Each structure stands twice: as C-alpha cells, then as structure tokens.
Amino acid sequence: MMMTSLKASFMQLSMALIIGAITMVSTQHPVPTPKITSVVIVGATGDLAQRYLWQGFFNLFVEMESVGHHLKLYGATRVNAEEGTVLLKNILNERVQCNKLTVPISSNCEDLREKFLSRVQYKQLKKAEQYQELCKMFEMEADQEHAKENGRWFYLSVPAFAYASIAENVGSFCRPTVSNTWLRVVLEKPFGHDLESATKLSDQLMEHLHDEEMYRIDHYLGKTGVSSILPFRQLNQDKYEQIWNKHHVERVEIVMKEKLDVTGRFSFYNEYGVIRDVMQNHLTEILALIAMEIPANISSPEKHRFEKINLMNKIQPIRKQHAVIGQYKAYQEELRDELGKADNFTSLVPTFAGVTLFINSPRWFGVPFVLVSGKKMDSKSGYARIVFKQNTFCVNDDGIEGACGTKQIVIYTGGTGGTKPMLLVSKNLPRPNVFAGWTTKNSFEDQNLFGSDFKDFNHYSPPVEADAYSALLRSCFLGEKQNFIASDDLMQSWKIWSPLLKDLEGTIPREYPGGINNGEILDFVSLTSGTQFVTQQNEPLFENRYQHNIAFKTSTFRNEFLVSGEAKQVIQALAVDIYNSSIFSIKSRGYFHLALSGGKSPVPLFHELSQLDSFPWRDTHIWLVDERCVDFDNDNSNFKSLAKNLIDYISIPYRNVHPMPITGVWENCDEEQSIYYDNDIRKRTNGIFDYIVLGLGKDGHTASLFPHSSTLEEDRQFVSVTVNPSDGSSRLSLTYPCLNAARTVSVLVTGADKVDIVNRIKGGIVDKMNLPVTGVSPDSGVRWYIDDEALTG
Ligand code: BG6
C-alpha cells in the first residue's frame, strides 16, 4: 500500500506558516521581535466556552509557546469584575486540563497550564467604554512585553441577537491601528433563521466588520473526518475522480444520527428544529466538500470559496416533496415541562428529517444526495457515504462477496462509544492512498457495516483526533478562511433550505418512539420526484404549495366525484390531483403516463402544471388525447398549443413527449398513423394510461369522439381516425377501449357556454351515440372538474 504523507506535509506547512507569522527568520536580524495576539472570549463562562473553548485555547497556547508566540487572553461577560473573576477562575481550574491536551509538548504541562492561567484575565464587557478601555490595553500589553501586535481576536460565544452591538463596539474601538495586525471575529451559529433573517444579520454585521474579518464557525469543519474529505479526494484523484460523478455514483448519503434528545435546549431547539440546527449548516458543508470540484489549490481560501460557491449555486432549492419529517414521541411533554408551557401547547418542530436534494451540474445531474439527521435515533453515527453503481455480473456464486458486492466509500466522522473517524473503501474499488499515520486498527471486526462485511473494506483511522474546536481555533489563527463560512455561501445555503422550511410550516411531523424502537417507521425512499416514508400511515399524499389556499368544493356529479368552484380554483385542484397522482404512480410503478386533450379549456391547466416547479417531469410521459390532422406549425394543432403552453416551460426529456404522428401537411390522417400511435401506447404504457384529462364539447363530444360517429363502436383499437361533422376535418382520437382502461380519467369543463350540455348529462344518462362523454366509464369512475359557470350558469 502506498502511504503518503500529505496530511503530514499540511501540518508542516501550517507550522511553517505559524512560524512565518511570528518570526521573520533572517540572518540579518538574529533576534526576532516576539509577537503577541490578544484573544477575547465574549461569553467566557457559557456552556460552549466551558466545554470546548478554554481547552482549545490552551492547546493553541501550548503550541504557540513552543515557537515563542504569546497569547494574552481575556474572558468577558456582562457580570461585574468581582463576581466574574471568581467564576472564571473556577471554570478555568476545572476545564483546562493537561490530560486533554492534543498537541505534543516538550516541557512540563503543569507549568504550561500555570502560565496559561496567569495569562487569562477577566473583563466585564457591557458598555461601549469598556470595549474602548480593553482595546486600548492591547497596544500597551504589546509594548510592555516588547512584542509586536500580531492580531486581535474576538470569539463571540453569545446568542446571535447580541452580535450586532458587539460588532459595533469592536468595529468602533478595537480595529488595530498598526499595519500587519489583524482583527478577527469568530461567530457561532445560528446565523439567522432563514434567508431573510440571515441577510439582515449579515447586513448589520457588515456595517461594522469586513467580511474577511468574520470567521463564522461550523464545528463540523473542524472534525478530522470532515476536514480530510478534500485532501482525500485530492490524494486519490487518479483513482476516484473519474468515477466521482453521475455515471458511476448511484447516490450519496450524508448522515448525522444522535441518540440524545433535546433536554436542556428546548428554548433554542423549538425555534430551530433539525433542519436549521444541523442540515442547513453541518450537513450542507459536508455535501459541499464531497460534491464540489477540487480547487486548484485546496489550501487557498479564494480557490476553495470559488469552487464551493459554484457548487452551491447549482443545488436545486428543496421543496416539501423532497423531505420527510418526524418528531420523537416524548418531545411535546418534555418541551412543556422544560419551558413551563400549558398542557395544550403543541409544537410542529421536527427532530428528524430525511431530505433528497439534487445538483444541476454536469457532474451530478440526477444523482440523489440523501441528507438525514435526527435526535433520539437508534445510535450515534455520522458519515458521508458514496454508493457506486454496481453493474458487474459475477458468474460464480461466491462472486457476491467480491467484485459484485456493494461498491462504496464511507467517510465516517464519528459514532457510538467515541468511535474514531474512519475511512472505509470497498475492496472492489481501487485501494486508496491514505495519509501518513492513519492505521487500519479497528473496532468492527466481524461486523456488518453499510450492508457489507467489515472485512470487505480497506479501512483507516487517524492517529489522534484533535477536537473540532481546537482544530478550528488553530485554523482561524492561521487565517484559513476556507474552513469557515463566508457570507455568500451562507446566503446560498439559506436559499437552498428556505423554500423547504416555508413549505413545511403547518406540516405535522410523523411521530416516532425514539431509540431502537424506531424500527422501520422513519425509513424512506428517495426518488427524483419525491421522498416518502416507506410505511404508509394516515398522512396525506404529497401536497403542494397550493393545497392550503384552494377554495374549491367537492360533491358528486352523475354519482361520481365532482370538484366545483371558480374556474381558477377548479383548475388548480385538477393540477394538484394530477400532481398527487404522478407522485403516487412514480413511487409505485416508476413512471407516469399522462394524456392531455387539446382545445381552449385545458390551456390554463397547462399553465398551472408548468408552474409546479416540483412536478416530476423526468419520470412523466405526455401523450395526446386527440389531434387535428394539420402540421405542428398550424395554429389548430393541439400539439402546438401543448408545446406553447406547457412543454416549452418544463424540463422534460424529449423522449417522454409523444405527439400524435402528424408529420408534414396532411389533408386527412390515415389508418397507418392511428396504428402507429396505438402500438406506441401499448408498448410504453402496457395499455394503461395513469391519467387522462378530457374536455367536453357543447355537443357532448369528448376527445374527438363525435356524436353518431362509427368510432364510438370501436371496441379494440386504442386510436382511430375520426371526422369532425361540423367542418368535415379529420382527426386522430383515443377511443373508448383506451379511455376506459385508464387508471384515472378527469373531465374538465369550464365556461358559461357549457351550461346546457352539463345540464343534459347531469341526470346520469348514458347515451354514448348522442352524448359520447357519457360512454367514458373507467373502473375508478370519472372525476369531474366543472367550474361554477358551467355548472349553474
Ligand atoms: C450542534 C447542534 O451544532 O451539533 C446540536 O446544535 C448537535 O444539536 C451537535 O447535537 C452535534 O455535534 P457533534 O459534534 O456531537 O456531532
């Protein structure tokens, strides 16, 4: 196995940068001026600071001391100096520990720890003057230590609502006057609630700080597994880059399951939920690292950002039909207890979500990226999994174990029982190059992982995992902006997620028991057209953005289902019905065959359908119910109208569009054409359309089945040549055998000029010779969509 030392060279390179940052090694200046960086942790006694930040800064301090760079730290809160000093001292004594140190040391750790504690000072930061006073001290400290100021570093570990005023104080009083001294402000999520609030927050911050001064942290980017993704891809470009695309990848899964519940965090969590808490940020960041083009230089923040934003721009905004959501059963009660809410207080906040998203790039078009996260899952695990298409046929029975097994690469970011990050590559893929020091020790012998035996993987783990915060503090110190979130990627991420968040307002999440009892209840399928739970409960099929707003009425007509109301409402309701049917059909059969009629009435329906951005056109086939025997350029062509009002606006594969075969200028269609279309229908639909939309003529005709025509007697052919008695022109039309075999047939009738014919048929009369529409009788019954004008005049 070829082991490379890429990771080691990164470490060396960044070390060199640190040294470079603090000393100008030169033979002419043998005694370099020491440098000093002032660090201010605002919110110094909060949970995050206690759990990660102080220890993280201790790690950095130790590393910096070894190269002669000094840190001076200030812990700040709004509490007065007397109380704050005692509180901070206790926290530091408890939380800063030598046994948690992740950097190598050459001197006694306890001595270093003492030194670190002596360099931390408490400061009350409540008023502008206090910021002013503190920031004046930075220069003085540097002078006293005969050092050059290297940087001023603020870590805001406070709720986001406090950011703007702190940024104002920092921007007004703390910007360094000395050149080559940087100002960096680290911000913790949440960065807004949706696109609008994130934009507002960003604008407020930009009034006081420059974008390059802001380091928005996403701790997932500091996890070894995550930060190894791009270096791993780069290191293995020759092996995997040619299969890292839609031709070879079946799907990509990005998963973050937690066993924990929300206890202790309800006031935050109930405002955010799983999508805002981890999907818009952590999982989207991982997705970007997996899917972006490898930057020409992965250590260059500019090149990295360019590729990242390029990718993010191509991710399709997510809509409701691409997500399933759940909430663990005890959530409501725990929430009420913790927040002291009344017994009838309920929350629709999801604690679980499964989302499928797509990237409109040449590399990834059509590949589902499945993102999953939840609280109270059966286990804690986080991974990105690339599942490759398997098209090898193994002739020997035992081939299943080898070349024919699942081909996958899993970047495991951490899991149960403190499992280390791990890289798993199926043995039937080229063996990867890995970083120096990564070993193949493991804890999964004899286990089945991701549907494969553990022994079928080449697997590697890093030697020591620095905690994510320590890694990112170091990264921030080095100015590695690529490991932080810039404003434009943040906004782009909100653009992707905000439509879904809006769509989900008012949606009831599926309840799940939590832990191993979840069983299959949250399993879901991901199709291009939608994402749906595998097990059905009494939940509505996919709704779309209109459903809540449509004020149509339902009743019966000819003892069949009727939707009535204003024309617009009736048409919207029909569009929703077609949409729901398409999702159902694609889920159960993989395709949706839809036949549409011509004429004026369906034109607004075409417009409506063209505006449903989430309609699964890729798996839909469009057919015609009837056609005039004229060239497609002719204004009387039904296909022309369909193209002009629908097909031109949607993204449907051309092979899914099936116009009736009227080519050239034909005076009369002939038998040959009807046989051709008939065969095509039978071949592609198995003789059953999923959905047919018909119209109704004033004389009772439907499709091009006119009263008294011989076509009404047709009992075998699906398509026939017919003649319009009013002008003698020829047409092609579907016949009763075809219409009545369909799974769903809807008849759309609009306008006051139809009131007479509607009255004639409403009694339920069946007289196909005089009133051809009454001969339409599919097993499921006709669904009538009649607007109020046609129904009552
Ligand atoms: C945080 C979320 O960002 O990440 C928490 O707010 C979540 O809800 C946590 O529990 C998970 O982080 P980790 O590092 O334990 O996977």
Given a cut of 50, is residue 26 above it in pLDDT?
no
Q: Do the beta carbons of residue 637 and residue 665 sit within 8 Å?
A: no
In one-letter notation, the amino acid at residue 71 is L
Given a cut of 60, is residue 676 above it in pLDDT?
yes
Q: In angstroms, how far is CA 421 from the centroid of its own chain?
A: 23
Mean pLDDT of 477-494: 95
User: What share of the chain in percent tops pLDDT 90?
Assistant: 69
Mean pLDDT of 598-615: 87
The verdict on the CB of residue 467 being under 6 Å from ligand 1 is: no
* Rounded to 5°, angle at Cα 764 from 760 and 770: 55
* pLDDT digit string, tens, across residues 272-295: 999 999 999 999 999 999 999 999
Q: Do the beta carbons of residue 684 and residue 737 sit within 8 Å?
A: no
Mean pLDDT of 428-440: 92
Between CA 739 and CA 741 the distance in angstroms is 6
N- to C-terminal Cα separation, the chain: 82
Mean pLDDT of 73-77: 97
Mean pLDDT of 394-406: 75
Index of the ligand 1 atom closest to the CA of residue 277 = 6
The verdict on the CB of residue 456 being under 6 Å from ligand 1 is: no
Q: Ligand 1 centroid vs 260 CA: distance in angstroms?
A: 10
Outline where DSSP puts E strands in 697-788. Answer: 719-723, 730-734, 745-749, 782-786
Mean pLDDT of 495-502: 93
Given a cut of 50, is residue 531 above it in pLDDT?
yes
For the chain, how many residues are written? 793
CATH number 3.40.50.1360 given to 552-792: yes
What integer pLDDT is reported at residue 448 of this predicted model? 84
Query: Per the omega criterion (within 30 degrees of 0), is the bond before 190 cis?
Result: yes
* Superfamily (CATH H level) for 222-517: Dihydrodipicolinate Reductase; domain 2 (3.30.360.10)
What integer pLDDT is reported at residue 231 of this predicted model? 96
Index of the ligand 1 atom closest to the CA of residue 468 = 14
Domain ranges of the chain: 35-188, 222-517, 552-792
Mean pLDDT of 154-169: 95
Q: Rg for the chain (alpha carbons), in Å? A: 33
Index of the ligand 1 atom closest to the CA of residue 258 = 10
Between CA 22 and CA 37 the distance in angstroms is 10
Two tokens, residue 87:
């509180």
* pLDDT digit string, tens, across residues 405-424: 899 999 998 776 556 789 99
Three-class SS state of 484: coil
Alpha helices by DSSP H, listed for 275-372, are 284-291, 301-312, 331-339
Substitution candidate for ligand 1 out of 278, 283, 383, 420 with most atoms within 8 A of CB: 278
Sequential DSSP letters for 343-359: TT------SEEEEEE-B
What integer pLDDT is reported at residue 639 of this predicted model? 95
More confident residue, 767 or 26: 767
Between CA 562 and CA 556 the distance in angstroms is 5
Two tokens, residue 424:
């798993």
Identical fold for domains 222-517 and 552-792, yes or no, is no
Paired sense of beta strands 452-453 and 448-449, if any: antiparallel
Q: Do the beta carbons of residue 215 and residue 294 sit within 8 Å?
A: no
Contacts of 46-54 with CB under 8 Å at 24 or more apart are 46/157, 46/158, 48/157, 48/188, 49/75, 49/91, 49/157, 50/91, 50/95, 51/95, 52/219, 52/467, 52/468, 52/469, 52/470, 53/155, 53/157, 53/469, 53/473, 54/91, 54/92, 54/95, 54/96
Mean pLDDT of 106-113: 89
Q: Ligand 1 centroid vs 789 CA: distance in angstroms?
A: 57
More confident residue, 79 or 22: 79
What integer pLDDT is reported at residue 665 of this predicted model? 54
CATH number assigned to the domain covering 35-188? 3.40.50.720
Given a cut of 90, is residue 594 above it in pLDDT?
yes
Q: CB 108: neighbour CB atoms within 10 A?
A: 10
Atom 15 in ligand 1: which residue has the minimum CA distance? 258
What letters, b where the CB count within 10 A reaches 16 and e where it falls short, cover 337-356? ebeeeeeeeebebbbbbbbb
What integer pLDDT is reported at residue 20 of this predicted model? 44
What integer pLDDT is reported at residue 32 of this predicted model? 74
The verdict on the CB of residue 258 being under 6 Å from ligand 1 is: yes
**Catalytic annotation on 70?**
no
What integer pLDDT is reported at residue 93 of this predicted model? 96
What integer pLDDT is reported at residue 400 of this predicted model? 54
User: What share of the chain in percent tops pLDDT 70?
Assistant: 92
What integer pLDDT is reported at residue 418 of this predicted model? 58
pTM given for the model: 0.70
Given a cut of 70, is residue 52 above it in pLDDT?
yes
Q: Ligand 1 centroid vs 24 CA: distance in angstroms?
A: 40
More confident residue, 388 or 447: 388
Given a cut of 60, is residue 5 above it in pLDDT?
no
The verdict on the CB of residue 230 being under 6 Å from ligand 1 is: no
What integer pLDDT is reported at residue 541 of this predicted model? 43
Substitution candidate for ligand 1 out of 277, 279, 351 with most atoms within 8 A of CB: 277
In one-letter notation, the amino acid at residue 417 is G
Average pLDDT over the chain, rounded to an integer: 89
* pLDDT digit string, tens, across residues 613-659: 678 999 999 999 999 988 888 888 999 999 999 998 888 999 999 99
Asked which of 488-502, 503-517, 532-546 is least confident by mean pLDDT, the reply is 532-546
